[in-house]
Amino acid sequence: MNRLDFIKISEWIKPESKILDLGCADGALIKFLKENKKTNGYGVEIDSRNIEHGMKNKINILQMNLEDGLSVFDDQFFDTVILSQTLQAMVNIEKIMDEMKRVGKNIIVSFPNFGYWRNRVQVLGGKMPKSRELPHEWYNTPNIHLCTIDDFEDLCHKKNVKIIDQLFLTNNKPIKFFTNFRSSIAIFRLTK
């Protein structure tokens, strides 16, 4: 596996630290971090098929609904909390941001950038965008809260979290300039 987002996220993770991956799917990132950084971590996932599949890996996955909050975890329990490609599917985004601040010392959030030029072109053409990152039809998409990189920065400001690092990708390659226009995925490293 050579996912640049995984590699970059792992650079931000201290060896042997405690991590929580929210919306962890089958736990691929937790497994990657466990193998590469010897982290001790848990994943939270809602989908039964992902839980079933993830159970094959020797990782900890908890089937819970993120919308209900993270009450099973104590304050400041984790060194890093990761919300990978899940933000846009949440109903209550401010609540999950508050909960991540509560249980984690550092926060990593990745999401599909709605400001990516291909999305903009499709909207200009009169259609809701579809892409590798946003593969669903408008009527069946789980992605109900799409935002651009600039929008997310505004939210961080409002929520009083500092941005320590950012990474922007398109087709698994880093984007350096005009990021809100040129990148399809954004990854933010945040702290309080």
Partner 1 sequence: MINSVGIVKAKKFNCNEKLVLSCGDVLSSFTLIYETYGSLNAKKNNAILIPHALSGNHHVAGKYKKEDKHSGWWDNMVGPNKPIDTNKFYVIGVNNLGGNDGSTSSKSINPKTKKVWGSSFPIVTVKDWVASQKKLTEHLGIDKLFAIVGGSLGGMQAIQWSLDFPDYVNKVICIASAPNLTAQNIAFNEVARQAILKDENFSKGNFYNHNKKPKNGLRLARMLGHITYLSNDTMDKKFGRKLVNNKFNYDFSTNYEIESYLNYQGDKFAESFDANTYLRMTKALDYFDLEKNYKKKLSSLFKKIKADYLVVSFSSDWRFPPSRSKEIVKALLDNNINVSYAEIEAETGHDAFLLASNHYHNLISNYLNQKI
User: What residues line the site for partner 1 (CB under 8 A)?
Assistant: 18, 40, 42, 48, 51-64, 72-74, 77
What is the closest distance, in whole angstroms, from the C-beta atom of residue 171 to partner 1 in the complex? 32
Q: Which amino acid, 159?
A: K
- Which is nearer to partner 1, 24 or 186 (by Cβ)? 24
Q: What's the closest the beta carbon of residue 74 comes to partner 1, in angstroms?
A: 7
Q: Which is nearer to partner 1, 29 or 61 (CB)?
A: 61
Q: Which is nearer to partner 1, 64 or 163 (CB)?
A: 64
Which one, of 51, 50, 57, lies nearest residue 34 by Cα?
57
CB of 59 to partner 1, least distance (A): 8
Give the nearest distance from C-beta 140 to partner 1 in angstroms. Answer: 20
Cβ closer to partner 1: 32 or 152?
32
Q: In this complex, which beta carbon is closest to partner 1, that of residue 70 or of residue 161?
A: 70
At 164, the amino acid letter reads I
Q: Determine contact, residues 105/79, Cβ cutoff 8 Å.
A: yes
CB of 73 to partner 1, least distance (A): 7
Contacts of 126 (CB under 8 A, 6+ apart): none
Paired with 191 in beta bridges are 106, 162
**3-state SS, one letter per residue, for 125-186:** CCCCCCCCCCCCCCCCCCCCCCECHHHHHHHHHHCCCEEEEEEEEECCEECCCCHHHHCCEE
Pairing relationship of beta strands 18-22 and 162-170 according to DSSP bridges: unpaired
